[in-house]
Chain A
Amino acid sequence: MRFISVRLLHSLFVLWAVVTLMFLMFRLMPGDPMAAYISEALSEESKRSIRAQFGLDRSLWEQYFIYLGNLIQGELGTSFFLKEPVWDIVMTALPNTLAMTFSALILAYLFGVIAGAFLAWRRGSLAEGISIPLVLATRAAPEFWVGMILLAVFAFSLGWFPSGGAASPGAMYDSEWQRMLSLDFLHHLALPVITLALYLQGLPLLLMRSTMLDVMQEEYITMARMKGLSTSRIVLHHAARNALLPVATAFALSLGQLVGGNVVIEMVFSWPGLGRILVQAVASSDYPLAQGAFLIVAFALISMNFFADMLYALLDPRVSHDRKS
């Protein structure tokens, strides 16, 4: 219990620090954040009332506390350009980002774990000699570039997949679930997911391989071998299970990083997700929207880090809780 509360307090502190940093960044940047709202045509009087409405006529300290108070209530403000609540815009985009992230992560980790275990088993083989540099190369290739090539080949040249977006024009659905389960959505989802999964599979693969190699040195594996169990049984039932631990933690960590890290893939495939909203908001100086999107992304990252910590402690009782705190 003590371990959980210490980690939770720690996560809250980090969250507060990031939120404060964001506040300072968005206030101290050059240019008037109200430029989009206040046109020269407005009278001095109405300019002032708009400023008061956003609390911009107060001191920085007062603004800071208003900002914190609003955040705690989940109030992220109103977008300058779309004139809609930031919360609504962000929450419309979030399911698209999550759908893409989850599908790609699951695909990548399934493949990575199996291939990693296989490569550890076949240590020193030709297959290993070829795959390791190949995997490193997929980690080194920019995702958006891989996406561009896949688009050029499979969307523009062969016409197998749509060239972007999340729905065909005119598509209408009764509910969000119906939309996300429709063939049209999945057809649009395919290329971005393949691109992302291709980039992601390297981490679980290398991680699985190296922990498998470690685990294979353990005494209980020798024991299993002495009992005369078959290699495949040892690999699957004894080694792989224990090697999965760091992979599970990496999965949780990647999920947190990806909610904001998908930016480039969402841009290449015009995928209406959170990262694309962030880029468009930053590009058009829509500060409330950019700030809101950034905070959601940061929140996802910090809470998944916390979750990964918990998961690790839960799965591996050997982790010393007191030392970490």
Chain B
Amino acid sequence: MTANPDPGAGLLRRLFRLTGRDPFALAGIVIYVVFALTAIFADVIVSHDPLEILFLPDGKVASNQSPGGVYWLGTTSLGRDVFSQLVYGARSALMVGLSAALMVVVVGTLVGLFSGYYGGWVDAVLMRLGDVALSIPFLPFIIVLAAFLKPNIWNVVIGVSALLWPNTGRIVRSQVLTLRERSYVEAARVSGASHLRILFTHIAPNVLPISFLYGSIVVGWAIFTEASVSFLGFGPSDSVSWGFMLQDAFLSQALSRGAYYWFVPSGLCIMLVVAAGFFISRGYEELLFPKLRD
């Protein structure tokens, strides 16, 4: 089964038709677009600096304010604006999600291409490496990595892509195994094209759609993982993410005070973004494998 013999125009047309038919894929795309716009225009949207300690008119710190006029979603126990943190959180979430997905797509596709095309010891070494990566406990590894390196969001990106590339690699490899036997590849070989040329101009375009399908799942995973790592206290302390907000709320007794406005919105955002990835990849699956439709 090939991914899609004609990527490009046909794919785009089918994408449009799909969003009309599959309301979930459409919902997923809408969620992504809203969060992307929020991330891009964060500076314009927010009312306060997310880490600034705010004061009430009478000079007291504006801590634990309930949601209302000035502070849409209330304030934290240190007098920081929850809504502004939420908006800035979209920025780090998107950065982590997209860069991890891109890295997984690049590494996974390259590994799959070389492994499937060359076979032999190249294949054996790369696939054993993949087995090892998939046998490393996911979250513990990323925690250890984040703790040893200086806390910043790139550790999560590196950790996630170091452990998740084999999924994409394996699926791309299996595609390449069938593609390299195709007659048009044979024709290219006979006409004297080099191995690299065959790989990158004849085979690669056909496996990219499926790489991106697996990539779109990684976006959600990376955001989810970043939130977990930040929640556990191994995230950067100078930038605001949704996981950081949840940790802050958890450690500041927001739970016992019933300050739902503090910790419900950020978790909801994580859920929406991750679910959007699921919805889109579910739609994609139909797009890539029209046979599965019944």
A282-B143 CB under 8 A given contacts A152-B260, A157-B258, A264-B231: yes
Per a CB cutoff under 8 Å, which of A17, A145, A155, A264 touches B263? A145
CA gap between A152 and B260 in the complex, in Å: 8
A298-B135 CB under 8 A given contacts A263-B143, A278-B143, A283-B233: yes
User: Of A61-69, A132-140, A184-192, which binds chain B?
Assistant: A132-140
Instruction: Write the chain B residue with the least CB distance to A137.
Output: B275
User: Does A109 sit at the interface, judged by CB under 8 A?
Assistant: no
Within 8 A of B (CB), among A244-280: 257, 259-261, 263-264, 267-268, 275, 278-279
Instruction: Write the chain B residue with the least CB distance to A138.
Output: B271
Structural contact, B250 and A137, CB atoms closer than 8 A: no
User: Does A102 sit at the interface, judged by CB under 8 A?
Assistant: no
User: Does A29 sit at the interface, judged by CB under 8 A?
Assistant: yes
Q: How far is the CB of A19 from chain B (nearest CB, A)?
A: 11
Number of interface residues of B (CB under 8 A): 47
Instruction: Write the chain B residue with the least CB distance to A29.
Output: B148
Structural contact, A264 and B228, CB atoms closer than 8 A: yes
> In the assembled complex, which residues on chain A have CB atoms less than 8 Å from the CB atom of B233?
279, 283
Instruction: Write the chain A residue with the least CB distance to B276.
Output: A140
Instruction: Write the chain A residue with the least CB distance to B231.
Output: A144
Per a CB cutoff under 8 Å, which of A10, A148, A156, A297 touches B250? A148
> In the assembled complex, which residues on chain B have CB atoms less than 8 Å from the CB atom of A263?
139-140, 143, 228, 232
Within 8 A of B (CB), among A187-217: none
Structural contact, B246 and A145, CB atoms closer than 8 A: yes
User: Does A141 sit at the interface, judged by CB under 8 A?
Assistant: yes
Q: How far is the CB of B253 from chain A (nearest CB, A)?
A: 9
Number of interface residues of A (CB under 8 A): 49
Per a CB cutoff under 8 Å, which of B139, B148, B274 touches A140? B274
A137-B143 CB under 8 A given contacts A18-B132, A283-B233, A298-B135: no
Structural contact, A301 and B137, CB atoms closer than 8 A: yes
> In the assembled complex, which residues on chain B have CB atoms less than 8 Å from the CB atom of A145?
227, 246, 263, 266-267, 270-271
> In the assembled complex, which residues on chain B have CB atoms less than 8 Å from the CB atom of A15?
135
Digit string of B37-71 for contact with A (CB within 8 Å is 1, else 0)? Answer: 00000000000000000000000000000000000
User: Does B33 sit at the interface, judged by CB under 8 A?
Assistant: no
Structural contact, B271 and A142, CB atoms closer than 8 A: yes
Structural contact, B139 and A139, CB atoms closer than 8 A: no
Structural contact, B271 and A140, CB atoms closer than 8 A: yes
> In the assembled complex, which residues on chain B have CB atoms less than 8 Å from the CB atom of A257?
137-138
> In the assembled complex, which residues on chain A have CB atoms less than 8 Å from the CB atom of B278?
136, 139-140
Structural contact, B131 and A10, CB atoms closer than 8 A: yes
User: Does B279 sit at the interface, judged by CB under 8 A?
Assistant: yes
Per a CB cutoff under 8 Å, which of B147, B270, B275, B282 touches A283? B147
Instruction: Write the chain A residue with the least CB distance to B24.
Output: A133
Structural contact, B271 and A137, CB atoms closer than 8 A: yes
User: Does B196 sit at the interface, judged by CB under 8 A?
Assistant: no
> In the assembled complex, which residues on chain A have CB atoms less than 8 Å from the CB atom of B131?
10, 14
CA gap between A318 and B24 in the complex, in Å: 36
Digit string of A278-298 for contact with B (CB within 8 Å is 1, else 0)? Answer: 110011000000100110011
> In the assembled complex, which residues on chain B have CB atoms less than 8 Å from the CB atom of A268?
250
> In the assembled complex, which residues on chain A have CB atoms less than 8 Å from the CB atom of B266?
145
A297-B258 CB under 8 A given contacts A140-B278, A142-B270, A264-B232: no
User: Does B197 sit at the interface, judged by CB under 8 A?
Assistant: no
Question: Interface centre among B135, B140, B271, B277, by most A CB within 10 Å?
Answer: B140
CA gap between A167 and B230 in the complex, in Å: 28
Digit string of B232-269 for contact with A (CB within 8 Å is 1, else 0)? Answer: 11100000000100100110001110101001101100
Structural contact, A136 and B275, CB atoms closer than 8 A: yes
> In the assembled complex, which residues on chain B have CB atoms less than 8 Å from the CB atom of A302?
135
Question: Interface centre among A145, A149, A156, A302, by most B CB within 10 Å?
Answer: A145
Structural contact, A148 and B232, CB atoms closer than 8 A: no
CA gap between A15 and B272 in the complex, in Å: 37
Digit string of B271-292 for contact with A (CB within 8 Å is 1, else 0)? Answer: 1111101110010000000000
Per a CB cutoff under 8 Å, which of B139, B232, B273, B282 touches A260? B139
Given contacts A141-B267, A294-B140, 5 further A-B contacts (CB under 8 A): A133-B24, A140-B272, A141-B274, A148-B249, A260-B139
16 contacts between A and B (CB under 8 A): A18-B136, A21-B132, A21-B136, A139-B275, A140-B272, A141-B274, A144-B231, A145-B227, A145-B263, A145-B270, A163-B256, A260-B137, A264-B139, A282-B144, A302-B135, A305-B135
List residues of A whose CB falls within 8 A of some B CB: 10, 13-15, 17-18, 21, 25, 29-30, 133, 136-137, 139-142, 144-146, 148-149, 151-152, 155-157, 163, 257, 259-261, 263-264, 267-268, 275, 278-279, 282-283, 290, 293-294, 297-298, 301-302, 305
